[in-house]
Amino acid sequence: MLRASMDLEQPSMHKLKTLAGYGVGDFGLNIYWNTLSIWLVFWYTTIVGIEPGVAGTIFFVGMIWDAISDPVVASFAETVRTRYGTYRPFILFGSFGLAACFVLLFWVPPFEGLTLLVTLIVVNILFRLSYTLVAIPYAALSARISYNSVERTEFTGFRMFAAFAGMLVVSSQFPPLISYFSGGEEYSAQGFQMTALIGGVLATCALIACFLGTREKPLPKHTVRAKLSPREVIRLLSKNRALLFLLGMIVLQSGAMACMNISMIFFIVSNQPAFASKEVVLTAFAVATMMGIPLWTLFIRRIGKKPAWVLSSCLIALSGLHMLLFGPYLLRGVPLQIIAFGLCTGAFAVLLWSFIPDTVEYGQNASGKRSEGVVFGSVLVVQKISGGFMGFIVGQVLGLIGYDKDAVVQAPEVGQGLVTFLAVCPALLLFVSIIPVVLMPLDRRIHADIVDNLAIDEPGTVRGES
């Protein structure tokens, strides 16, 4: 008898189509996400002209809005029933509004003072809401395209490779595009907005391709769906111990990635002219991450998710310690520690998004009810709050170390302060994240047993208790 956790192999061409279709969606989403992570605080300070601390605060307010809207959208999305499925229509129809809001995000309002700040916050929130309406259904789709933990790792590996291809586009192509459309200047409002328009068109095409290339596996007729009320959400969360440990991991991992991504461009700028240009260093980081993803995917498939998380955390901690003790070690102007960060970052990209759907079945088995909305909504809430808080912290750190948004060359202590922050903060957070990883009551074998326990009729079919 075949194990229920091991789905029958899909025809190879169908599986490749699903891999490509699902992966390309995150290519589009990461054009948006990485533009925010890398460029938004820089845009606020350099083009709009507000102080770094205020820019970090706006970034944080946007993330808090995400924390409010994410669980609402997640709960609503899983109730939708259309001939296209539950989640795929959000990806298709939401992509157009998302592109429009992305262009609006890089608009300099003709206001000053409090009116300017309120306008920037409102536009930020509008963009983030449109992003949520696409990104949460896209994330939840991973729980419907396969019920197999190993296969989910493969889908996630392909997805993350495409996601960091999106990051590569942002890091390597956006700087020259911004310069080109700035009419000879390095940066201008028009340069950013025209680049955002091109990015929005490219991302929309990717999301449409995702809609066309994927299909949702229907839930078996015996599955019991949770009717979400505040009391029921609390009950489901309390029953899902694997999810609670995962949320602890996400707090630390998302904070670490936000520290790294937001501070990196300031780190590069503050160490000019010793470093290569921003686009060269950011491209090296993105390429290193992309190269690491297939290697980590194979490694995770062979030894499991927990050992891979521990190893990658330790490697980033060691890379940060090396930079702290010996300074940036340059190869053609690119800090080798940044390349090491990139290689290890690929592991977390695969691990996080292959862990998450497995906790759906864990919670279903523990509570008797299935709720993708509770899982993905709570994950994204925690992820956004952690990332947003670190955006706020980076803004405050820039102010404390004396970063001058108007200076052509930063003072030496600014560069040293950013070296210390970039070396210590991500490494420390990831090292601490090992604790909830080790304690998490879910691994590949346990998940396989759970899916077997939930299986009925045929391999790959799961049910809840009726």
Q: Among candidates 401, 425, 422, which has minimal Cα distance to 413? A: 401
* Tally of CA atoms within 13 A in the half-sphere of 371 that contains its CB: 28
Output phi, psi for 186, to 5 deg.
-70, -40
Per-domain residue ranges of the chain: 15-215+228-454
How does residue 461 score in pLDDT terms, banded at 50, 70 and 90?
A: very low
Beta carbons within 8 Å of 292's beta carbon, 6+ residues apart: 342, 343, 344, 345, 346, 347
pLDDT at position 430 over 80: yes
- Look at phi and psi of residue 183 and say left if phi exceeds 0, alpha if psi is from -120 to 50, else beta: left
Q: Which of 238-242, 372-376, 425-429 has the lowest mean pLDDT?
A: 372-376
Question: Using CA atoms, how far apart are residues 30 and 324, in angstroms rounded to an integer?
Answer: 30
How does residue 6 score in pLDDT terms, banded at 50, 70 and 90?
A: very low
Q: Which of 7-16, 38-47, 107-116, 150-159 has the lowest mean pLDDT?
A: 7-16
Question: Does residue 350 contact residue 157 with C-beta atoms inside 8 Å?
Answer: yes
pLDDT at position 197 over 90: yes
Q: List, for residues 329-355, the tens digit of each pLDDT value.
A: 898 889 999 999 999 988 887 888 888
Rounded to two decimals, what is the model's pTM? 0.71
Q: List, for residues 53-71, the tens digit of each pLDDT value.
A: 888 788 788 877 877 887 7
If you write DSSP's letter for every residue of 133-170 in order, what string do you get?
Answer: HHHHHHHHHTTTS---HHHHHHHHHHHHHHHHHHHHHH
pLDDT at position 182 over 80: yes
Q: List, for residues 273-284, the tens digit of each pLDDT value.
A: 888 888 788 888
Question: Using CA atoms, how far apart are residues 311 and 347, in angstroms rounded to an integer?
Answer: 9
pLDDT at 221: 57
pLDDT at position 25 over 80: yes
Determine the average pLDDT of the residues in 151-158: 78
Q: Among candidates 25, 127, 166, 143, which has minimal Cα distance to 77? A: 143
pLDDT at 10: 46
Structure token digits, residue 70: 């994410």
If you write DSSP's letter for every residue of 230-263 in order, what string do you get?
Answer: HHHHHHHHHH-HHHHHHHHHHHHHHHHHHHHHHH
pLDDT at 466: 27
Question: Using CA atoms, how far apart are residues 350 and 152, in angstroms rounded to an integer?
Answer: 10
Calculate what percentage of the chain has a pLDDT beyond 70.
92
CATH 1.20.1250.20 for the 15-215+228-454 domain, yes or no: yes
Calculate what percentage of the chain has a pLDDT beyond 90.
28
pLDDT at position 93 over 80: yes
3-class SS of residue 85:
strand
